[in-house]
Structure 1
Amino acid sequence: MEMSLSRLHLPNSQQCSSPLSSSLSLPPCFHVPCSQRRRPHTTWSSSIACCLPQRQESVAVIEKNETSTSVLSERKVIRFGLPSKGRMAADTLDLLKDCQLLVKQVNPRQYVAEIPQLSNLEVWFQRPKDIVRKLLSGDLDLGIVGFDTFSEYGLGNEDLIIVHDALGYGDCRLSLAIPNHGIFESINSLRELSQMPQWTASKPLRVATGFTHLGPKFMKDNGFMNVTFSTADGALEAAPAMGIADAILDLVSSGTTLKENNLREIEGGVLLESQAVLVARRKSLVEQKDVRCRTKEILERFEAHLRAVDQFTVTAHIRGSSAEEVAGRVCSQPSLSGLEGPTINPVFCKHNGKVTPDYYAIVICVPKKALYKSVQQLREIGGSGVLVSPLTYIFEEVTPRWKELLLKLGL
């Protein structure tokens, strides 16, 4: 996270005269008078430097969106933003590869690449927050980011639309954490934290976070009347121990790092659950048919692969008098229903010059967690020669998420 060590004092507009006070539209419950700031060396000017970029950006985005239609019409190539570094970047490339969409990058130092299977499309490697910003400005048409990044930097803009909300990696949660000791030792919930008498206008709860849009809104919605926010470079987990903050609001995966730094999550302190999502610019989808076509293909590939993850095809032979009789036995077992029911076909054998269907072959789709149980049930009803194969794709006639997307777009 790119953050400067500065306090996000949310000022009282009457006591801190600043041209930003009206444009920031900060809730009154977060205003702290200038005379009551706790750190004399921290000036209001440094607080503005920390707050200003996000709010200026939202204004700039609106202004740019008004003229983006002409820019979009001039740019014919579709732009797809992918994370440039870290685990999210590696997992994104792995997903695309699993969907037969190999990103071809001539030079690893270059920020632009291509996917040969998708014509008229450029891949641009960017920081996740820049992917969201450039979607808003019209410089990108599609992108993959974490839902937390989408929520923080998208600022609720209606021109951003989630195409796929569960790509299956990057799982984490944005959560509030407090120290295990001291005045927090008996605090177990967000409600209890908000009701602590220690937090006053002159001594507010100090929260270190990089989520300066979501954080204040979350605390306000949960009844906090006296709170300030700060940001810091590096790991936020060190902030309480250093005396920089009382609590942190940060992304948590396993929670191990919190425990190792004597911090813990509390009941009601999870702001949102996050994983990788596929995002698009609404105007690009509505105004450009090529963008819709590429988006549909990417979405269908993602859906087909993700639906097949941890699924197996199970084939077995069962003796029976008819396909209907065998189907009755198979459907009586709870783990043998498959996606839409079993497929049953006769297996013809030749006896004394006569061809008869002595066996019936059944084919079902089984999730990995139920695989062994399903095989057992097959054998109990007379199944033999059981074959198991992993699945790579499961394509639907029409991808449900594509139908939902078209409805959202009014198309």
Structure 2
Amino acid sequence: MATSFIDKARITVQAGNGGNGVVAFHREKYVAAGGPDGGDGGRGGSIILVVDDNMSTLMDFRYKRKYVASNGMDGQGARKSGRDGQNLTIKVPRGTLVRDAETNEIIKDMSGSEPFVLCKGGRGGWGNMHFATPTRQVPRFAKAGLPGEFHDVVLELKLLADVGLIGFPNVGKSTLLSVVSKAQPKIANYHFTTLFPNLGVVWVDEGVSFVMADIPGIIEGASEGAGLGHDFLRHIDRCRLLVHVVDVSGSEGRDPVADFDAINEELKHYSVNLAERPQIVCANKVDIMENPENLERLRQHVETLGYSLYEISAAAYQGTRELVKKVAEALSVLPPVTVYEPEYVPKTPAVDASAPLDIQRADNGTWIVEGPWLQRLMANVNFADYESRMWFDRALRESGLFQQMEEMGIQDGDTVSMYDFEFEYQR
């Protein structure tokens, strides 16, 4: 059905978390003090985008909006690493722009065939075998795995076509596409027959062909959301050449010059670059033309503006072959289809010790301390091990947390609560 064409979707993607490193010691008969042999956690699965040329819309994302890759497994004893999480592959149509949902900046233009890693899986944590030193031979702590990357993105499909057919509804764009290519768009004698873009490959000669897109009819006010044109103007953003189809038959009582100017005005309102795109003007339905004066007025008008005018009747196959050759000739000297450069710069998560912590004193006198980097730090600490606790204490002092709390009035013996860990403060 026509309503199945979806060219914009917002999704949430979450890469897998890394597995935790493990605290373990070598156990073997007749081997005393075998030493630490805790393995590392596995890497979390990544979110990978790939182009699928069998897809033509973003319909698959209409109902499923969240995509989560699997986590890495925790490490094991005997220096065994945890299994890596499985990558999650998401297929998108060629020509899909991936934008950051918050800033609308372009992350990636999926016009090529190379896979793109949208979210990287978290690294696995180190097992305790990495922390053995001559002075610390029995480390009873390991590192937690890092969280995978998370992103809200907007997928926006911009068709990869060399030529875009533009013009008012019912001027013969779909008929022209069906005549010059093997595309089979819906054709009927009423407005807005075309409800979604159609693509067709036009063969010209041996080794010479191009892709043509039939864009749903644009009307006055389309750039502001009127009609269907606003939804699909984005699909001619990449087109190297525009073929402007104008009905000169007079069968609907329209003025072809006014129609031509109105469409170009809408292009200008939508995008100045699009309005300046090369155009070839087609005077269609000349075989049923009621007033030849309409054709001459249009010819004089467009030639004054520097455009070429071709007389055709798509339905009667009149002038279409000559038009195709002219389009191919024009494309041969135009630059290739636009590929958008990334604009998005990844933001570094605020998990370093310079980020401020939330410090509050409860009614019972307990000091409550919370913050992202503190939570990450605590995930790496084995509070049952003395050396690990001392490392934690040193990290807090070096961050300036204790000095800040002393300036706020903390006293020896006061209780400090950090998530699920409590201790008495001592200078």
* TM-score over 0.5 for the pair: no
Structure with greater helix percent: 1
Structure with greater strand percent: 1
Which protein has the larger Cα radius of gyration, Structure 1 or Structure 2? 2
TM-score interval (norm. to shorter): under 0.3
